Structure 1
């Protein structure tokens, strides 16, 4: 059995669509560079003081509370920290997120786009040396595509887009749900970069939003509970060393 890394994804702005990476530089005890670096919030959700440290996802705009975000795509340029917002494949807004004027351009677009969806004015925040993952710890999420296929075909009886689960590393070649049997602290390697298994990821209602239609069309947590008697899809892992990974790399599991 060969387990292969099929895709690497990151989500520069939490709650918005992810972007594919041709390769990723991995740093020990860090999330993927610029993954969930920025968040969108309103004054009603974070107060006048804004965001100055990691905070729970409930403070920010995300699919579970603002599903309309799924209607727009994104591109992100590392060198210039520029976010491009797409709709139907066409660029409709662009701004440098490390620049106040650039952020204002994106914020003004979001204010108009979400005017009937949110209370208050959306603001984009970032905090130095901070990533806004669902966990405070700098974990990377890993999805087994076979588990998603099994969930879709056997339980939901419909094809399920892996993007519902907003994972970083998508693997294939592993038996369905086998990743959930990897014990905490088990070591896996991708292209000689070691990662520590942390724990399974409990899924919330945000996964019920169809990433193509922005409509909540499947109660994913309920279907998981009924079909496999748990709420897990994917696992968190933690990078233990620096290195590079690329789609096509092989994943190996230590025998211990």
Structure 2
């Protein structure tokens, strides 16, 4: 098996950023993955005491399909986050400062329009990951499983619908569902598979058009009797991995 695609998602719900390589620490996520999020005004998120909240408390494609049309890129060295709307309106600010977070939050709130609830706030809390699990994870998806799924539904389901960190080749379709509790050597890191990735209505959103034009949750249930595509894993031994690196089931 080998890594074919490697991504991070700096802002929860927004653009995937392709990586050539990354390095993870024990118990952590890919650096800058889900490091920022716009919390809805009714979420009750407390940056002084950050804890897990379900995704609907934040701007996310599950609730906000138009978020797929925002282009975003984060430059950690320059400490600049740029977000551009379809009409060309753009915000560029330092998301690590209160001033920058306020500016970015106002831009995203304006973009959400009626979908904004209360007074949303844009957050970055050092050490906190705004992922959909209660602890930091790395998500991995099997390209063979996606291809089998596409053959069943008779159409393309772009991998960007599923927002994984790692897409890999070389395993039979759905083999990853048997890996729960097993460890994987991923390049120089070791990951332990925790669970399958339960899919939600975010996958309905076409990443190109921002329209809800498919129902992968219903399709998965219809063809396979479950709603999982991909796996979540925790880092048990830190290390570096890159595009093309081998993945080995230990």
8 Å contact kept, 1:54–1:132:
no
In structure 1, the residue matched to 2:178 is: 181
> C-alpha displacement at 1:151, in angstroms?
0.8
Contact 2:52 2:133 in 1 (8 A): no
CA RMSD of aligned residues (A): 1.9
Alpha-carbon distance between aligned partners in 2 of 1:58 and 1:86, rounded to the nearest angstrom: 22
Shift of 1:27: 0.7
Q: Give the equivalent residue in structure 2 for 1:162.
A: 159
The match for 2:96 among 83, 95, 98 is 98
**Matched residue of 2:197: which SS?**
strand
The answer as to 2:196 corresponding to 1:193 is: no
Secondary structure at the counterpart of residue 113 of structure 2: coil
Choose the corresponding residue for 1:239, options 227, 235, 240: 235
SS in 1 for 2:237: coil
Aligned equivalents of 2:82 and 2:154: distance in 1?
A: 35
Task: Verify: 1:214 aligned to 2:210, yes or no.
Answer: yes
Q: Give yes or no for contact 2:47–2:125 (8 Å, CA) kept in 1.
A: no
The alignment of Structure 1 onto Structure 2 pairs a total of residues equal to: 249
Residues 92 and 25 of structure 1: CA distance in aligned 2, closer, same or farther (over 3 Å):
same
What CA deviation, in whole Å up to 9, does each residue of 1:85-120 have, x standing for no partner? 135697822111011222222222212222133233
Distance in 1 (alpha carbons) for counterparts of 2:73 and 2:10: 9
Q: What is the rounded CA distance, in whole Å, between the counterparts of 1:19 and 1:89 in structure 2? A: 21
Are residues 89 and 195 of structure 1, via their aligned partners in 2, closer, same or farther at CA, if it must alter by over 3 Å? farther
Contact 1:42 1:119 in 2 (8 A): yes
Secondary structure of residue in 2 paired with 1:46: coil
Residues 1:17 and 2:15 aligned together: yes
Q: TM-score, normalised to structure 1's length?
A: 0.90
SS at match of 1:171: strand
CA distance in 2, matches of 1:160, 1:27: 32
| Alpha carbons 1:86, 1:93 under 8 Å: kept | yes
Partner of 1:35: 33
* Matched residue, 1:131: 129
Partner in structure 2 of residue 45 of structure 1: 43
Instruction: Give 5+ residue unaligned stretches, structure 1.
Output: none
Q: Which runs of 5+ in 2 are unaligned?
A: none
Aligned equivalents of 2:91, 2:142: Cα separation in 1: 34
